[in-house]
Amino acid sequence: MQSFQPPRRILMGPGPSDVSPRVLAALARPTIGHLDPAFQDLMEEIKAGLSRLFNADGYACVPLPAPGTAGMEAAIMNLLEPGDRAVIAINGAFGGRMADMADRAGAEVIKVEFEWGQPVDPAKVEAALAGGPVKVLAFVHAETSTGAKSDAAALCALARKYGALSVVDCVTSLGGITVDAGAWDADVIYSGTQKCLSAPPGLSPICLSPRAQTAISGRTTKVRNWLLDFNLLMAYWGGEGGRTYHHTAPINALYGLHESLVALFEEGQQAVLVRHARSHEALAAGIEAAGLKFLVEPAHRLPQLNAVLVPEGVDEAAVRAYVLAKWDLELGAGLGPLKGKIWRIGLMGASSTAWHVRLCLTALCEALNAQGFKADGAAAVSAADGKLA
């Protein structure tokens, strides 16, 4: 066994995205104790930074000590008790995962399903909500498996109208498109660090509204997960009257998240969103100039996650293998019913730059040409440049 030296990679898949040198440097700062006064100050800064980023004033905001799936599991398992009814919108892999978790919570799950690549249709969701008392409405804002965006404001409003608590998966949206817990009046909203925040994977920021906190503290049964039980977590992260030991926080990973928040606020929240939008427009122009098409209609496309259809006769996996071998470039494959049918091209966080767009178009066209599909790389880059000028 020898020390591991990772190869050079450019990360343009569905996550992780490229991590900036300043965040990598933060990870390597000396570990201190999780009960250290200096660490407790850091926790307060992270809580405040997350509240600002989610626009979740008055919410309880904490980073969970596990990848983004932990945010999903915490939301579902804390809100649902056996016998509760939950409406879950499914328009990709992650909605399906939510339904599986709600089933494990002992809830009655009402699935509202959509074709992969389509957004969640609020009218179909409303029909399900109107069918009887529902405790939770859960949906994915930005489906990582398809690149489709759903209307979080409309869906959260429906949850309020029918007296349900809303759970909003913002794993891929946070930092790439507008996420606004306050304006949406969302109840539980969570993300991951490895997408548009451009920190390494491993943490899941989550925010809970006062309504959600009341629902959790008023449960009649224990949350089935110990590590993700908010009644325990709040005493640990609460900060008032001394913290109750719960788990040992992942200190160095939190250094990384903190630094990524500092960098994001330095650039400016609005400027970051504009950068993501511009990168997407440039990539989209190049993709079309190369003769390729998107899975998702323009109105519902996520700028940070581009699902591009594999042309007839092209070997999807061979193209990814080519760009990895020749350009150190990681692109994503399709999942489930989209396996072999799309590439997923991420333009997330530090991977959302003109340089990444130009490199990706060049590499992708070269790989397509190697497969016998004619794609003019220079024309694709030129089309992208037209949007970047």
CB of 219 to a copy of itself, least distance (A): 12
Nearer to a copy of itself, 222 or 374 (CB): 222
Residues 178-197, interacting with a copy of itself (CB under 8 A): 192, 194
Residues 49-78, interacting with a copy of itself (CB under 8 A): 49, 65-70, 73, 77
The number of beta carbons lying within 10 Å of the beta carbon of residue 241 is 7
* Binding residues with a copy of itself: total (CB under 8 A): 78
**Tokens found for residue 169:** 């998966």
d(CA 50, CA 207): 8
Residue 27 interacting with a copy of itself (CB under 8 A)? yes
The number of beta carbons lying within 10 Å of the beta carbon of residue 154 is 15
Question: Taking the chain, what is the end-to-end CA distance rounded to the nearest angstrom?
Answer: 49
Part of the chain binding a copy of itself (CB under 8 A), chosen from 96-104, 124-132, 298-306, 372-380: 96-104
CB of 124 to a copy of itself, least distance (A): 25
Residue 32 interacting with a copy of itself (CB under 8 A)? yes
At 343, which helix (H) or strand (E)? strand 342-346
Part of the chain binding a copy of itself (CB under 8 A), chosen from 34-42, 110-118, 155-163, 181-189: 34-42
d(CA 248, CA 268): 32
**Tokens found for residue 22:** 């300043």
Residue 5 interacting with a copy of itself (CB under 8 A)? yes
**Tokens found for residue 265:** 């606020």
CB of 141 to a copy of itself, least distance (A): 18
Q: For a copy of itself, which residue of 189, 197, 223, 233 counts as binding (CB under 8 A)?
A: 223
Part of the chain binding a copy of itself (CB under 8 A), chosen from 28-36, 108-116, 154-162, 377-385: 28-36
Nearer to a copy of itself, 20 or 369 (CB): 20
Residues 231-260, interacting with a copy of itself (CB under 8 A): 245-253, 255-256, 258-259
Q: Yes or no: say if 307 and 287 are a contact pair by the CB < 8 Å rule.
A: no
Phi, psi torsion values for 167, nearest 5 degrees: -120, 120
d(CA 235, CA 110): 33
Residue 286 interacting with a copy of itself (CB under 8 A)? no
Query: DSSP H helical segments within 92-229, as ranges?
Result: 93-104, 122-129, 152-161, 181-184, 210-217
